[in-house]
Amino acid sequence: MTEKTYLPGDPYTYPLILKKLLTTPLIYSPDREVVYRDQTRITYRKLNERVNRLANGLTRLGVNPGDVVAAFEFDSHRYLECFFAVPGMGATLQTVNWRLSPEQIVYTVNHAGAKVIIVNSFFLQLLQAIRDKLTSVQKVVLISDGAKSPETTLAIDAEYELLLAEAGSQYDFPDLDEKHTRHHLLHHRDHRQPQGGLFLAPSARAAHPRRHRCVGAYHTQCRCRSDDVYMPLTPMFHVHAWASPT
């Protein structure tokens, strides 16, 4: 078998998919922490486990490759888990912009064809007001920050933390076609898209010191290093926070 010779500019055929990024911290910094406000601190090792559990839990709810999962959530560790679990299992994550009007949210969710909605209890009143207009949604997963689940007339099919607790800790993420849309409008890899794809966009942030001055592999005045802490302020529904979660 003849080994392929790569010329400058040729795309490398090694699959650049999200599960490759998910496992990297387990090698270099498994005990580094992901911090959500003053509420939660979890290590990358624990994050990996929770991503696997979420994928298993969503599978139990009937999410299949090609399905769309919508998320109404703040910039939390759970949103980060969705960023990896949903595209990683071959489904598509729709990051719902909850700052839109109810009519616009209805349009975007219906247009995306979301099958499952993951919603923070803070947005239950909003979701309750538009639920009967969401024609494709079959299941609702509730995220509750409080000890007691809020009262609602919505049919709740699962509670997020309980869903993870009852799911297996190992999920066999497939090697996907990296050029299929798996995350809103982004492929795993495709460099031709405006944001550069799910894999290449964060890689560009790490390597390009001029375009992304807050990070970069080259020495710059504002470069973040591997032992620094990055606090994303851009909402994850806004251009996916420019690939900062990955």
Q: Is residue 164 part of a domain?
A: yes
Q: Is residue 37 part of a domain?
A: yes
Among the listed residues 133, 129, 130, 151, the one whose alpha carbon sits nearest the alpha carbon of residue 142: 151
Of the chain, the percentage scoring pLDDT greater than 70 comes to 71
Residue 52's CB is within 10 A of a number of other CB atoms, namely 23
Between 52-61, 138-147, 228-237, the lowest mean confidence (pLDDT) is in: 228-237
How far apart CA 76 and CA 40 sit, in angstroms, is 9
Q: Is residue 123 part of a domain?
A: yes
Residue 26 pLDDT class (50, 70, 90 cuts): confident
Q: Is residue 236 part of a domain?
A: no
Tokens at 162, concatenated: 């309980």
Q: Which residues on neighbouring strands pair with residue 124, listed in sequence order?
A: none
The enclosing domain of 110 has a CATH number of: 3.40.50.12780
**For residue 143, what are the domain limits?**
18-180
Q: Report pLDDT digits (tens) over 62-108.
A: 999 999 999 999 989 999 999 899 988 989 889 899 999 999 999 99
Number of structural domains the chain divides into = 1
Q: Report pLDDT digits (tens) over 121-172.
A: 999 999 999 999 999 999 999 999 876 778 888 999 999 999 999 999 999 9
Q: Is residue 149 part of a domain?
A: yes
Q: Is residue 69 part of a domain?
A: yes
Q: Is residue 171 part of a domain?
A: yes
Q: What is the DSSP letter of 33?
A: E
